[in-house]
């Protein structure tokens, strides 16, 4: 593997994203604004489970929300557009390894996910009165960054199955309802029972529950269930992405 080619692809992907405020600004702004409205405004109240404040509880759920947005939009919309407009074909004719293309996209998803989570930490500590050991903060951070893999896989699948104009609407149709149904905006314990049952099938719910467990905000008895749920979702999304990739290969070289 030529490391220099991978690093160059990551560098230019980063510069491209910085010059695309339609992606960069909402990805960072939405989770932080929502956290200010709800996590800061109501943060001193106690969550009914785990003995933590809402400000601390919502760090995990809005952190999950931020990781979802960075991963889904970073993969789905850009890949669909680059496929649709022929840019991916141009890249395939260059010396760039195809793996560098996906590694660069993944790097951007993780960088923006990390930026969102760190900003939420700063808001929580400075304005929300959040206090937790560095080990717990590091644990939740690591869980959320790992969760970016699942939603990057979903974004990759959408990017290869959707067209350049339909990818963004499809992402929103997935992103917004899943966020609500998984208890990322309103804590899951405050939602109706039938929604709590729906959440059991959603990867965003499993990721948020793992993040909450890391800070002692929920029961850790179901940790294995949440890990398995994320693994299954990741495998399914990667299989769909591979199907879309092979379909494109067939059209290009068939």
At 78-121, the pLDDT tens digits run 888 888 777 677 666 666 777 888 898 899 999 999 999 999 99
* 110/94 Cα distance (integer angstroms): 26
The confidence score (pLDDT) of residue 246 equals: 84
Q: What is the DSSP-derived secondary structure letter of residue 126? A: H
The mean predicted confidence, pLDDT, of the chain is 88
* 239/221 Cα distance (integer angstroms): 30
Please tell me the least confidently modeled range out of 2-11, 70-79, 103-112, 177-186. 2-11
- CA-nearest of 168, 148, 144, 150 to 158 is 168
**pTM confidence score:** 0.91
Confidence class for position 47, pLDDT limits 50, 70, 90 = low
pLDDT at 186 over 90: no
Confidence class for position 50, pLDDT limits 50, 70, 90 = low
66's tokens: 């931020």
Q: What percent of the chain has pLDDT over 70?
A: 92
pLDDT at 136 over 70: yes
How much is the average pLDDT of 234-245? 94
With vertex at residue 181, the alpha carbon angle to CA 20 and CA 226, rounded to the nearest 5 degrees, is 95
The confidence score (pLDDT) of residue 69 equals: 94
The confidence score (pLDDT) of residue 236 equals: 97
pLDDT at 53 over 60: yes
Question: Best-predicted range by mean pLDDT among 72-81, 85-94, 243-252?
Answer: 72-81
């Amino acid at each position: 593997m030529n490391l220099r080619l991978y690093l160059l692809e990551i560098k230019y992907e980063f510069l491209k994203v910085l010059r695309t405020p339609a992606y960069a600004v909402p990805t960072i702004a939405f989770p932080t604004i929502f956290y200010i409205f709800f996590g800061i405004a109501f943060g001193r109240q106690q969550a009914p489970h785990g003995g933590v404040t809402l400000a601390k509880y919502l760090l995990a759920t809005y952190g999950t929300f931020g990781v979802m947005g960075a991963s889904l939009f970073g993969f789905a919309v850009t890949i669909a557009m680059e496929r649709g407009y022929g840019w991916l074909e141009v890249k395939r004719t260059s010396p760039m390894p195809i793996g560098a293309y996906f590694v660069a996209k993944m790097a951007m998803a993780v960088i923006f996910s990390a930026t969102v989570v760190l900003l939420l930490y700063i808001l929580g500590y400075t304005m929300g009165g959040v206090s937790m050991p560095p080990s717990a903060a590091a644990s939740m951070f690591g869980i959320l960054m790992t969760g970016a893999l699942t939603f990057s896989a979903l974004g990759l699948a959408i990017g290869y199955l959707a067209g350049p104009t339909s990818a963004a609407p499809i992402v929103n149709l997935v992103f917004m309802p899943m966020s609500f149904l998984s208890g990322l905006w309103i804590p899951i314990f405050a939602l109706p029972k039938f929604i709590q049952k729906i959440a059991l099938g959603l990867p965003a719910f499993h990721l948020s529950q793992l993040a909450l467990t890391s800070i002692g905000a929920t029961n850790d008895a179901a940790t294995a269930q949440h890990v398995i749920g994320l693994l299954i979702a990741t495998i399914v999304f990667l299989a769909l992405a591979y199907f879309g990739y092979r379909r494109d290969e067939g059209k290009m070289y068939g």
